[in-house]
Amino acid sequence: MHLEQANYYCRPVPAFGDPKARLLIVGLAPGMHGANRTGRPFTGDHAGILLYATLYKFGLASSPVSTSVDDGLQLIGARITNSVKCLPPANKPLPLEIKVCNDFLRVELEMSSDVRVILALGLIAHAAVLRASGLPGGAHRFAHAAEHALNGDRVLLDSYHCSRYNTQTRRLTTPMFEDVVGRARELAFAARPG
């Protein structure tokens, strides 16, 4: 281990945010120099720059920037977790890791009774949410901005992951991501019929 990595968190990264969240954001896995270092999802890496700025824009975060677990940032009506809890080898989760960690996501969903919308960042998160919800992997097809009805009146909303690769190649632009997060917020806080 490098001297600079001696202060890394290097443990399973817990979910972060409002325990009474109506919006649950599911990412992929802790980034090597992001959540693996800081101990908070999407904190300290490129993907978090767009995510937290967008959450702030829509009133879901108290600050547009997340730098550390003790920076005072709070999420409002939102919570963030990952499909895989630990840093995966070569920053790419193995199928076994995704499967083993799915029990943690299942419990997160069961304990989050206020969650109405689950925003899956990427195909792996999408598939993990389906599995954790007791649905087969082919129950709903992943597509950016696609909306899928889940059991319990929940909605699964898909987005390309806000990774450096996706934003630099413009597969995901800031307006595209803002549109999806805005829609997720709208669905999560809409009045229930009846």
Specify the pLDDT at position 89.
85
97 in any annotated domain = yes
Range of the domain at 181: 20-189
Which tokens is 67 given?
């730098």
**Nearest CA to 67 among 103, 97, 35?**
35
Specify the pLDDT at position 92.
85
12 in any annotated domain = no
Specify the pLDDT at position 138.
87
**Nearest CA to 154 among 105, 120, 115, 127?**
115
128 in any annotated domain = yes
> pLDDT tens, position by position, for the chain (194 residues)?
444 566 899 999 999 999 999 999 999 999 988 999 999 999 999 999 999 999 999 999 999 999 999 999 999 999 999 999 999 888 888 899 999 999 999 999 999 999 999 999 999 999 999 999 999 988 999 999 999 999 889 999 999 999 999 999 999 999 999 999 999 999 999 976 54
The b/e string for 60-96 (b: 16+ C-beta within 10 A; e otherwise) is bbeeeebeeeeeebebebbbbbbbbbbbbeeeebeee
Backbone angles phi, psi at 148, to 5 degrees: -130, 135
Contact 70, 84 (CB under 8 A): no
Specify the pLDDT at position 192.
65
13 in any annotated domain = no
182 in any annotated domain = yes
Model confidence pTM above 0.85: yes
11 in any annotated domain = no
178 in any annotated domain = yes
Q: What CATH number corresponds to the domain at position 71? A: 3.40.470.10
165 in any annotated domain = yes
Specify the pLDDT at position 3.
40
Counting the structural domains of the chain, the total is 1
